[in-house]
Amino acid sequence: MTSEVNVREKFYTEGELKGALIYDSEGLYYGEAGRLVLGEEQAYLEVYIRRKVGEVVVDDEALKRKLAAKGVAAPPDAVLEELIALARESGLEVPRKIVEKTVSLKKAMLPYEEIRWIDMKELRAEPYFGKTAVIFLKTPREARYRGQRASPPPKVPKPELVRGRLVLSETKGILGVAWEVTVGFGELGLRVYRIKGAEKKILWLAFITHLRKEGMADLAAELSEEIDPYRSSRLDLGMKDKIVAKLNELGAIDAVRLLDNFVEEGEEESLYVDVPWRKARKLGDAIIVE
């Protein structure tokens, strides 16, 4: 990569970087940042990965059932240690089960020189909510670790392939979360959200219920024939014009005004950027663009 980096240069403490997501130059996820280790002539960032592992533990519920089946009365407030002692006294095998837990494993010591940029952004687009920190590397460390490179971007992006992935610019840092495929002047693009505001909805069931309470049961029944409120209690705002047209057709002018009271307020406006697909460089766990 030869592009000049223009992410705002900033320095971060160990505490600020802890848990930051690390991606290599191929867009492959490498791990999470841990401690900053300072040696005599070199400095490293510890890299951790999270893994789910199975742990064998005593199955206390199964143990209680076995004791009861054996006719052994265990006190209702008996702790696990007491239950195990009762089982052994009764010659019963103590049942066990495997439970999953998440553990952090130290993966590597990352030389600080391999960091291309560090960026932090407030994201509110699924699955990222809150301050998100990313460390982007100059090197394909994860690609070497896996023995594979990221896929080249396909000519035509598919929503299921890109949705929910972080979009990282080689020069501008975190752009946001890919969500939709867009089309422009003779080319395709990605709509990348930093904030994806809640979409407004029509509270259809509440509206129909209100009409009935206000003595407009016939109108409520007519509208329910069009759209069943129990199957579709909330409607996309795009349906409003169709509903208004139907109300006008039925001469229900008062109901048209009432409908506005049953439009759900969006929580916040969306904040996004459209990125031309031709600028995509790597399609890994994250999407790397110019």
Q: Where are the domains of the chain?
A: 14-51+105-196+272-289, 52-104, 201-262
165 φ, ψ (degrees, to nearest 5): -90, 145
CA dihedral 278, 279, 285, 286 (to 10 degrees): -140
The residues near 160 (Cβ < 8 Å, ≥ 6 apart) are none
> 4-13, 69-78, 137-146, 220-229 — which one is most confidently predicted on average?
137-146
The residues near 18 (Cβ < 8 Å, ≥ 6 apart) are 33, 34, 35
pLDDT digits (tens, 9 = 90+) for 225-278: 889 888 888 887 778 888 998 898 888 888 988 998 898 776 557 889 999 999
Q: Which of 264, 260, 263, 204 is nearest to 230 (CA)?
A: 204
Residue 94: how many CB atoms within 10 A of its CB?
Answer: 15
Tokens representing 117? 């940029």
Whole-angstrom Cα Rg for the chain: 29
Does the pLDDT at position 1 exceed 60? no
On whether the CB atoms of residues 156 and 188 are closer than 8 A, the answer is: yes
Tokens representing 168? 């990282």
Question: Regarding predicted confidence, which is higher, 26 or 10?
Answer: 26
169 φ, ψ (degrees, to nearest 5): -90, 135
Please name the helix (run of DSSP H) or strand (run of DSSP E) that holds residue 251, with its range, or none: none
Residue 32: how many CB atoms within 10 A of its CB?
Answer: 20
Position of tokens 């209100």?
A: 210
Task: Give the model's pLDDT for residue 5.
Answer: 60
Task: Give the model's pLDDT for residue 4.
Answer: 58
The residues near 170 (Cβ < 8 Å, ≥ 6 apart) are 1, 3, 5, 116, 136, 281, 288, 289, 290
Q: Among residues of the chain, what percentage have pLDDT more than 90? A: 47
Position of tokens 């020069």?
A: 171
Task: Give the model's pLDDT for residue 266.
Answer: 62
Mean pLDDT confidence for 35-51: 92
User: In whole angstroms, what is the distance from residue 108 CA to residue 47 CA?
Assistant: 5
Q: ∠285-140-32 over CA atoms, to 5°?
A: 55
Residue 140: how many CB atoms within 10 A of its CB?
Answer: 20
Of the chain, the end-to-end C-alpha distance in Å amounts to 10
Task: Give the model's pLDDT for residue 162.
Answer: 93
DSSP 277: G
> Cis omega (within 30 of 0) on the bond before 111?
no
Q: ∠211-215-217 over CA atoms, to 5°?
A: 65
Q: Among residues of the chain, what percentage have pLDDT more than 70? A: 96
Tokens representing 28? 């492959």
Task: Give the model's pLDDT for residue 204.
Answer: 92
Label residue 2 by pLDDT band (50, 70, 90): very low
DSSP 260: G
SS3 category, 13:
coil
pLDDT digits (tens, 9 = 90+) for 187-234: 999 999 998 876 678 899 999 999 998 889 889 988 988 898 888 888
